[in-house]
């Protein structure tokens, strides 16, 4: 076995989940067969493509870009790094990871791998399943930390995000919640790059030396999928 442990980075998909992006449908489950009546158990599930732990394909924000069925298998298996901004986010819900944070991480942990999944541990997981996960302010804006545009451009310029790669977060989006123009997402969603959102258990990850494996629906013309995402630790 080429890894020491497997860590689940996904929340279970549940009909009781209340934290869906404003306007998105809530998941629903209907039992259509039971062992007692039919000899087997089966549910139907209705869910949006970006509900719960999920990944987004480039077509989600980029017209003409790759849909779920146009991605390559290699796009879903990436070297991973974890950057912890949970302390900063505890004091500032609008904290945006900056270039200085990236350089400080690199000085401490060594060079970033190429075409990587860069996972941002903001600590927002503690709000999952509650109204505070979105944290709307008096103006109705979402409130959660994310990546700055400058940091994502640095990752692109240095090959950390290449033709493939991913940004990940335990919050709703790689964008800071108050940015309703989604500048980070639009910068990310090109070529075959993914967004991994509403991740779980990032506090248990080391800063580096793991592989991210992403699963989910591969639907025709899909913009993404609810996902099971795992980290294989070296």
pLDDT (tens digit per residue) in 107-135: 999 999 999 999 999 999 998 888 788 76
The pLDDT of residue 135: 67
The pLDDT of residue 233: 97
Nearest to 117 by CA among 227, 220, 214, 5: 214
Residue 159 in domain = yes
Residue 30 in domain = no
Residues 151 and 165: their CA atoms lie apart, in Å, by: 15
The domain spanning residue 130 has which CATH number?
3.50.30.50
Reduce the secondary structure of the chain to three states and give it as a string: CCCCEEEECCCCCCCCCCCCCCCCCCCEEEEEECHHHHCCCEEEEECCCCCCCEEECHHHCCCCCCCHHHCCHHHHEEEEEEEECHHHHHHCCCCEECHHHHHHHHHHHCCCCCCCEEEEECCHHHHCCCHHHCCCCCCCCCCCCEECHHHHHHHHHCCCCCCEEEEEECCCCCECCCCCCCHHHHHHCCCEEEEEECCCCHHHCCCCCEEEEECCCCCCCCCEEECCEEEEEC
All residue ranges of the chain with pLDDT < 70 are 1, 17-19, 135
The structural domain count of the chain equals 1
Model's pTM, two decimal places? Answer: 0.94
Range of the domain at 162: 5-13+48-233
The pLDDT of residue 1: 59
The pLDDT of residue 66: 96
* DSSP-assigned beta bridge partners for residue 120: 83, 169
Contact 201, 7 (CB under 8 A): yes
The pLDDT of residue 17: 66
Residue 228 in domain = yes
Residue 55 in domain = yes
Residue 37 in domain = no
Residue 18 in domain = no
Residues 120 and 104: their CA atoms lie apart, in Å, by: 14
Residue 28 in domain = no
Residue 29 in domain = no
């Amino acid at each position: 076995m080429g890894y020491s442990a497997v860590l689940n980075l996904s929340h279970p998909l549940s009909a009781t989940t209340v934290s869906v992006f404003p306007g998105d449908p809530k998941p629903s489950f209907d039992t259509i067969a039971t062992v007692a009546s039919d000899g087997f158990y089966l549910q139907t599930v209705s869910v949006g493509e970006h509900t719960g732990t999920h990944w987004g394909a480039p077509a989600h924000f980029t017209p003409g870009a790759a849909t779920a069925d146009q991605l390559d298998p290699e796009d879903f298996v990436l070297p991973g790094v974890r950057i912890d901004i949970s302390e900063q986010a505890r004091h500032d819900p609008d904290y945006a990871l900056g270039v200085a944070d990236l350089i400080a991480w690199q000085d401490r942990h060594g060079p970033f791998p190429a075409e990587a999944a860069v996972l941002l541990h903001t600590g927002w997981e503690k709000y999952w399943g509650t109204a505070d996960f979105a944290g709307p302010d008096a103006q109705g804006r979402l409130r959660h930390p994310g990546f700055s545009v400058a940091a994502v451009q640095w990752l692109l310029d240095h090959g950390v995000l290449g033709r493939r790669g991913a940004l990940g977060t335990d919050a709703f989006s790689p964008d800071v919640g108050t940015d309703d123009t989604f500048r980070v997402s639009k910068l990310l969603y090109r070529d075959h790059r993914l967004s991994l959102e509403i991740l779980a258990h990032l506090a248990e990850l080391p800063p580096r030396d793991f592989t991210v494996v992403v699963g989910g629906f591969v639907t025709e013309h899909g913009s993404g999928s609810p996902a099971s995402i795992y980290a294989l630790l070296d």
